[in-house]
Amino acid sequence: MTLQADRVVWHRGGKLVVDEVTLRPAPGTTIGLLGPNGSGKSSLLRLLNGTAKPESGVVTLDGAELSSLARRDIARSVAVVSQHADTDVDIRVRDVVRLGRIPHRGSFGTASATRDEEAVAEALRHTGLADKADQRWHTLSGGERQRAHIARALAQEPRELLLDEPTNHLDIRHQLELLSLVSRLPVTSVIALHDLNLAAIFCDEVIILERGRAVAAGPPREVLTAELIARVYGVRARVGVDERGRLTVLFEPGALESSDELTPEDAPPAW
Amino acid sequence: MTTPVTDGTGSGSGTSPGSTLRVVLLLVGGIVAVALSVGAAITLGPADVSLVNVRDVLLNHLGLADIPVRVVKDAIVWEERLPRALTAAAAGAGLGICGAVMQSLLRNPLADPFLLGISSGASTGAVVIGVLGVGGSVIGLSGGAFIGALLAFALVMLLARLAGGGTDRVILAGVASTQLFSALTSFVIFAFADADETRGVMFWLLGSLEGVRWDDVALCAVVVAVGIALCLAYSHALDAFSFGDEIAASLGIAVARVRLGLLVLTALITATLVSVTGAIGFVGLVLPHAARFLFGPRHAGLIPATALIGAVFMVWVDAVSRVAFQPTPLPVGVGTALVGVPAFVLILVRNRRGQ
């Protein structure tokens, strides 16, 4: 049993953003959420981490409905790496990672300070940040900041990791490093991604979202076809398999006639 | 003072510069500094009072000794300067932690306890009582200020909610409401106040610890102590806000409930303090930044550090305002602003460089 979504529906600002999506990741797998801007990837992640409640359908954690659980109990199992999580606080990397121990603390103290420090040290080591632990947040590069967020999420010791476009603004090398790190972690990961090739390399399964609906799901090699990419993204693509058996997606310039470009739904939610 | 202790990197969690040991040492030093500051501040002033007199008077009143002290000196120390210094310490501590909490909750380094319209609301409340005389004898200037502060806070939260919530809406609503209440205050003064009333109200508007009594000390001390305890209980939640609401929620914080609860707490602390001392600006804005430089951003250390720095700062600013132009006292808000504005500019410059 893990974190599962069953036929969840959510309207946001009067628009249907998640439409009867079901998600049942096998424990330990890496699931890619794919789809154009505004297709509901981020919204689905918000339902999965319990910061929003579906209007119908349920999200369950080990069989218990998420909305019936205390936030802290959710946080002990589910960690989130979101987009644009930046800070003005002059904080050191170690203290960022320590934030991940908050769900394991009481109001006035911690169950075990040693346990906390071990978890922080291990998360730093896992993400290759051990030697940067005492550096200030503002001195980190974009890739290091994302890794620090992942270290913070790992310090939470979650079983489920939700990542919203974690490779945004990273160069190719850091994109590869970050996703191979995530796919090697002993947790179930759900990652919203834009890059189909990266999804093909690192995800065990992908789910394609289009206007809130899951239109295809399964292993990348079965799901990512030229027809599907044309239909969902409105672009021409050539999908092949390289000599090492890996799926490759090549895009052709020029939109398809039927494409409807970016729709107003793509606008980020108003806060 | 304290003997130097080497911060061994061997055992436990105290391995970093902001380690527990260091924080404890600095906090103990801070408490000693507050006590010494209060003692020293009491000796300042036109009437000659020595530290020995202060000690004797304190011991007498605490029932620990029976040392002969001249009645005048006893009255000056016990009835005048001591309650005043203690109220200053409580106000500095309280305004400091309110600033620290608001800067974290609203993720804005320039947030301060008066951002939510509290101080200007208090001013309006005070002039409505003091100048217009509405319910004057029953409520009093302080009561009017307290009510005005909370009404302004309620208005800000309502406006922010109507505007769709979110920290930036809270700040915008606070700015708008601050302007509105400042205008109302000026309007009442210009339209209705005579010269005497204007002087009386203005002194209070700029902050003043003239004539505080022991019941003021008790009120401020209790409110500030409870405030510090509650903020400390939520120090991890405050840490969790560093990267915004979404991360805070994913770390197990009930974001909306915790933020509203802590904002109401800061409003109550600020309203109480303002009702006693008038509007003392810049303490809440600047001192949390000073505390962050010294203790780092983790709230378990930042909250007590800000409280102690605020207490020491206010005790000295009040003492200096009391004696600098004697016999004319300077409003204490003038003193804090004269120190606060340059510090504020430094923070702005520093933030620009950081980007």
CB contact under 8 A, B252 and A72: yes
CB contact under 8 A, B16 and A94: yes
Q: How far apart are CA B170 and CA B324, in angstroms?
A: 39
Orientation of helix B20-43 relative to helix B299-323, angle to 10°: 10
The two structure tokens encoding residue A189:
């990961």
Orientation of helix B82-105 relative to helix B214-233, angle to 10°: 30
- Identify which of B128, B237, B133, B228 has the alpha carbon closest to the alpha carbon of residue B188: B128
Q: How far apart are CA A270 and CA B163, in angstroms?
A: 11
CB contact under 8 A, B251 and A76: no
The two structure tokens encoding residue B112:
């301060």
Residue type, B338: L
| Three-class DSSP category at B23 | helix
Q: Which chain A residue is nearest to residue B351, measuring alpha carbons?
A: A88
Is some CB atom of chain A closer than 8 A to the CB atom of B295? no
Q: How far apart are CA A200 and CA A222, in angstroms?
A: 10
Check the CA dihedral B118-B124-B126-B128 and report its sign: negative
Is some CB atom of chain A closer than 8 A to the CB atom of B140? no
pLDDT-wise least confident of A34-38, A152-156, B47-51, B346-350: B346-350
Q: What is the pLDDT of residue B11?
A: 35
| Burial (CB count within 10 angstroms: exposed 0-12, middle 13-18, buried 19+), residue B166 | middle
How far B296 CA lies from chain A's nearest CA (Å)? 7
How far B221 CA lies from chain A's nearest CA (Å)? 22
pLDDT in tens, B298-341: 998 899 999 999 999 999 999 988 888 877 878 888 888 787 77
Q: Are B115 and B178 in contact (CB under 8 A)?
A: yes
CB contact under 8 A, B243 and A85: yes
CB contact under 8 A, B242 and A105: no
Q: Which of A107, A138, A271 sits opposite B354 (nearest CB)?
A: A138
Per-residue pLDDT for chain A (271 aa), expressed as one digit of tens each?
589 999 999 998 888 999 999 999 999 999 999 999 989 999 999 999 998 899 999 999 998 999 899 999 999 999 999 887 888 888 999 999 999 999 998 655 566 788 899 999 999 998 889 999 999 999 998 888 999 999 999 999 999 999 999 988 788 988 998 899 899 888 999 999 999 999 999 999 999 999 999 999 999 999 999 999 999 999 999 999 888 878 899 998 876 665 444 444 444 444 4
Average per-residue pLDDT for chain B = 84
Residues of B in contact with A78 (CB under 8 A): 250
CB contact under 8 A, A85 and B247: yes
Instruction: Compute CA distances A138 → B108, B148, B230, whole Å.
Output: 16, 41, 30
The count of other CB atoms within 10 Å of the CB of residue A63 is 8
Query: Would you say how long chain A is, in residues?
Result: 271
- Omega of the bond leading into B327 within 30 degrees of 0 (cis): yes
Q: Are B93 and B308 in contact (CB under 8 A)?
A: yes
Is some CB atom of chain A closer than 8 A to the CB atom of B107? yes
Tell me which H or E stretch contains A128.
Answer: none
Q: Which of A70, A99, A270 sits opposite B239 (nearest CB)?
A: A99
Strands A3-12 and A15-23: antiparallel
Q: Choose the mutation target among A102, A120, A165 for the interface with B, i.e. most B CBs under 10 Å.
A: A102
- Identify which of A181, A104, A99, A186 has the alpha carbon closest to the alpha carbon of residue A144: A181
Q: What is the ipTM of this complex?
A: 0.84
Cα separation of the two ends of chain B: 40
Q: Which of B249, B297, B351 sits opposite A91 (nearest CB)?
A: B297
Tell me which H or E stretch contains A42.
Answer: helix A41-49
Q: What is the pLDDT of residue B314?
A: 93
Q: Which chain B residue is nearest to residue A78, measuring alpha carbons?
A: B250
The two structure tokens encoding residue B81:
């300067």
Fold category of A3-219 in CATH: Rossmann fold (3.40.50)
Q: Which of A90, A138, A149 sits opposite B297 (nearest CB)?
A: A90
CB pairs under 8 A between A and B: 98
Is some CB atom of chain A closer than 8 A to the CB atom of B166? yes
Q: How far apart are CA B299 and CA A38, in angstroms?
A: 37
Tell me which H or E stretch contains A74.
Answer: helix A71-75
B278 DSSP 8-state letter: -
CB contact under 8 A, A74 and B252: yes
The count of other CB atoms within 10 Å of the CB of residue B14 is 17
CA B222 to chain centre: 14
Beta bridge partners of A160: A78, A188
Instruction: Compute CA distances A212 → A199, A207, B198, B330, whole Å.
Output: 19, 11, 63, 64
Q: Which of A49, A75, A95 sits opposite B298 (nearest CB)?
A: A95
| Cα Rg, chain A, nearest whole Å | 19
Instruction: Compute CA distances B54 → B41, B64, B68, B69, B187, whole Å.
Output: 10, 14, 12, 10, 45
Q: Are B58 and B46 in contact (CB under 8 A)?
A: no
pLDDT in tens, A36-74: 998 999 999 999 999 889 999 999 999 899 989 999 999
Q: How far apart are CA B75 and CA A228, in angstroms?
A: 88
The count of other CB atoms within 10 Å of the CB of residue A263 is 13
Which CATH number applies to B86-348?
A: 1.10.3470.10
In the predicted model, what is the mean pLDDT of residues B1-19? 40
B15 DSSP 8-state letter: T
Q: Are B82 and B221 in contact (CB under 8 A)?
A: no
Orientation of helix B82-105 relative to helix B283-295, angle to 10°: 70
CB contact under 8 A, A271 and B251: no
DSSP A190-214: EEE-S-HHHHHHH-SEEEEEETTEE
Residues of B in contact with A114 (CB under 8 A): 12-13
